[in-house]
Amino acid sequence: MESDPRPIRRRLLRWFAQHQRTLPWRSDPTPYRVWVSEIMLQQTQVATVIPYFERFVRRFSDVAALAAADLQDVLAVWAGLGYYSRARNLHRAAGLIASAGRFPDTLEGLLALPGVGRYTAGAILSIAFDKPAPILDGNVARVLCRLSAIGGDPKSPAVRRRLWSLAETLVPPRRPSQFNQAMMELGALVCTPRSPLCGRCPLAALCEAKRQDRPEAYPAAGRKTRVLTERWAVALVRRGGCVLMTRRAEGARWGGLWEFPGTTVAATGNAEADLRRFLKDELSLSPSQFAQVGRVRHQLTHRNMTVEVFAAAAPKGRPSTASAWVAPANIEARPISKLTRKIAALL
């Protein structure tokens, strides 16, 4: 695409002015709100994010409030949205911004924040500060691959370099905020992965994939994701009116969230035996009266989980610091995953 970028900018901006959605973070695009929305939108669809965003900015109204908050409270508001390192990084970055005294407004300053990569830095620069920084997300990549009929794996470094270069060429010196949002909006509403609506596309006359009459041939398909099967055994250890919960280590899956203690089980293994061994070795617990009370399935992008849930009677002994006896009514006040929520429903 060495042609004049101006017709593309003009058509796209005109289309966006007429067709953009009303989204909560667009009403008042402060750096804080744009930042929170962009982190939430990483690998997460707009419709999923909206209620989480509303709740989050109501609870933590600015950087100072977020920096002063307890991480467990931040995770509790984030619970259910997934990719929990985003919430931990958001909290940590809020502390850095609060210490610095002002929100970073340069590429280097933004990239220094944990959880902010090249895309998010460009999005904040352009949308919140209206600086002409390029962005490249899944939507933009798809639009550009079609516009210029770029083949090859769009995730490969070579294609990524070309797409970033193209994005940089296209972003206008004026109204870069509107332009970048328009590119993403076009990818979300018109230039969709399957069955793109070329009849409604403001760039159709300029699109090479459309000219070839095969828009769906771009971008080329990437590697297929293999879904692995995982088998788990989880214990609902009860004492009095409470049940034992443990907190997962950061860095792991569901890091920082609370769960019921459990372990993976080999495909041909004995779930109850493995679970007893786990409780004894890791928590120094030897509960009695084991009984399977249910089976829960949970799907992740790369995992297909089957969880066998056991009830057990409480032994004597004290939980470690990373564990707690929790009344069922108080479980959902803690940060828990969707899987833990399903298991809690068995109580």
- Distance (Å, whole) CA 299 – CA 245: 22
Enumerate residues 6+ apart whose C-beta is below 8 A from 1: 144, 147, 148, 166, 169, 170
- Distance (Å, whole) CA 311 – CA 272: 10
- Please, are residues 87 and 78 in contact by the beta-carbon 8 Å criterion? yes
In one-letter notation, the amino acid at residue 143 is: V
Q: Does 152 bind DNA (CB under 7 A)?
A: no
- Please, are residues 283 and 246 in contact by the beta-carbon 8 Å criterion? yes
Is 38 known to be catalytic?
A: yes
Q: Does 56 bind DNA (CB under 7 A)?
A: no
Q: Which residues pair with 84 in a beta bridge?
A: none
Of the listed 2, 38, 108, 308, which one is catalytic?
A: 38
User: Two tokens at 194?
Assistant: 């399957």
CB atoms within 10 A of CB 229: 9
Piece of the chain touching DNA by CB under 7 A; list 3-11, 61-69, 81-89, 285-293: 81-89
Q: Does 186 bind DNA (CB under 7 A)?
A: no
Among the listed residues 18, 27, 225, 288, the single contact to DNA using CB under 7 A:
225
Piece of the chain touching DNA by CB under 7 A; list 75-83, 203-211, 261-269, 285-293: 75-83
Give the residue from 158, 126, 251, 183 showing the smallest Cα distance to 5: 183
- Distance (Å, whole) CA 40 – CA 112: 18
Largest Cα separation within the chain, whole Å, is: 76
Which lies closer to DNA via its Cβ, residue 194 or residue 316? Answer: 194
Q: Nearest 10 degrees: CA dihedral of 80, 84, 88, 91? A: -40
According to CB under 7 A, which residues from 22 to 41 bind DNA?
A: 23, 25-26, 37-38, 41
Among the listed residues 5, 19, 71, 82, the single contact to DNA using CB under 7 A:
82
Q: Does 254 bind DNA (CB under 7 A)?
A: yes
Among the listed residues 59, 83, 206, 333, the single contact to DNA using CB under 7 A:
83
Piece of the chain touching DNA by CB under 7 A; list 95-103, 134-142, 259-267, 276-284: 134-142
Q: Does 169 bind DNA (CB under 7 A)?
A: no
Q: Does 185 bind DNA (CB under 7 A)?
A: yes
Among the listed residues 65, 107, 198, 300, the single contact to DNA using CB under 7 A:
300
Q: DSSP label at 221?
A: P
The number of residues that bind DNA (CB under 7 A) is 63
- Distance (Å, whole) CA 185 – CA 187: 5
Cis-peptide, bond into residue 328, ω within 30° of zero: no
User: Two tokens at 17?
Assistant: 């002015």
Among the listed residues 72, 89, 246, 306, the single contact to DNA using CB under 7 A:
89
Piece of the chain touching DNA by CB under 7 A; list 4-12, 219-227, 265-273, 287-295: 219-227
Among the listed residues 44, 72, 165, 246, the single contact to DNA using CB under 7 A:
44
Interface residues toward DNA, by CB under 7 A: 23, 25-26, 37-38, 41-48, 80-85, 89, 114-121, 123, 137-139, 141-142, 156-157, 181, 184-185, 187-188, 193-195, 219, 221-222, 224-225, 227, 252-255, 298-303, 337-339
Q: Which residues are catalytic, by number?
A: 38
